[in-house]
Amino acid sequence: MKALSLFLGCVIPNRYPGIEMATRLCLAKMDIDCTDLRGASCCPAPGVFRSFDRSSWLALAARNLALSEEMDRDILTLCNGCFSTLADANRILKNDPDLRMQTNMHLAKIGKEFRGTIEVRHIIEYLYTEIRPENIRRHVERPLDIRVAVHYGCHLLKPSRERGLGSFERPEFFDHLVECLGATSVDYPDKTECCGAGGGVRSALRDDSLKLAQHKLSRINEANIDCIVNACPFCHMQLDAGQEEIRQRTGVMYNIPVLHYTQLLGLALGFSPKVLGIDLNVINDNRFIEKIENGR
């Protein structure tokens, strides 16, 4: 199992530092060898950027990959979008000598070279395939007796032929990671539906974006759950801050706590909600915090 470099991306440091803290605490407690990927830039985002300028998208992604290659560490991402860009760019450049040569011509100007010597790992994929749920269970100090709505997000599952994590229509791997913590992963309609944020939709078409989020939140709300758990800070922002935006536009308030998986994992490993930054979310439900801390 190769050592890891931590790629934080853009949203976590700027919007949700609690996810970063939770991740660092969990990795350290489980003795996973992971260090910072110093000098990293935006991945860059897979939707709009790749559509308009593929050459620059590849060059910027390859620079990040080259930084981790220099450390001889696989990249660990906490974001579906970052995972999509870095994993896809890594695969494309490994398999296309012409594109690799063109990209390396750009990188040579800054003294970098893409060699194709590492892999790109998503925190969920890594924990499921390398650490395994049964081993994570052994680290649990506070079993979580809660009902959870898992939100997979798009780029973790698609394209399924490249992700290799099973069916994108009825995936189960994320649910297993939730349930090994003692929680119950509750099925709900439209579980694999998009949150509505990606591909520039949240930025350019905010009302349409929030309609998609509201549909998903309404489905989750009907399932009588304690919280939503995601694996992507952009989905996290859409489902967390989006709830307040929906309230302002429609008067409908769901008040559903939203956690990144590393925050849920941190709770099970015994860390307090405050240390994990859960209180920094837009939706900050004291009843959920009390349920975790009191074990009921």
- What confidence tens digit (pLDDT) does each residue in 68-93 have? 999 999 999 999 999 999 999 999 99
User: Which structural domains are found in the chain, ordered by start?
Assistant: 4-123 (1.20.1050.140), 135-294 (3.40.50.11810)
pLDDT of residue 293: 82
Q: pTM of the full predicted structure?
A: 0.94
Confidence class of residue 291 from pLDDT cuts 50, 70 and 90?
Answer: confident
Amino acid residing at 34: C
* Section 171-185 average pLDDT: 96
User: Per-residue pLDDT tens for 13-67?
Assistant: 999 999 999 999 999 999 999 999 999 999 998 777 776 788 999 999 999 999 9
Helices (H) and strands (E) in the chain, counts: 15, 8
Complete edge-to-edge strand list for the sheet that includes strand 34-36: 34-36, 4-7, 74-77, 120-122
Confidence class of residue 158 from pLDDT cuts 50, 70 and 90?
Answer: low
CA distance 7 to 2: 15
218 or 201: which carries more pLDDT confidence? 218
The residue length of the chain stands at 296
Asked if pLDDT for residue 238 goes beyond 70, the answer is yes
296 or 122: which carries more pLDDT confidence? 122
pLDDT of residue 157: 79
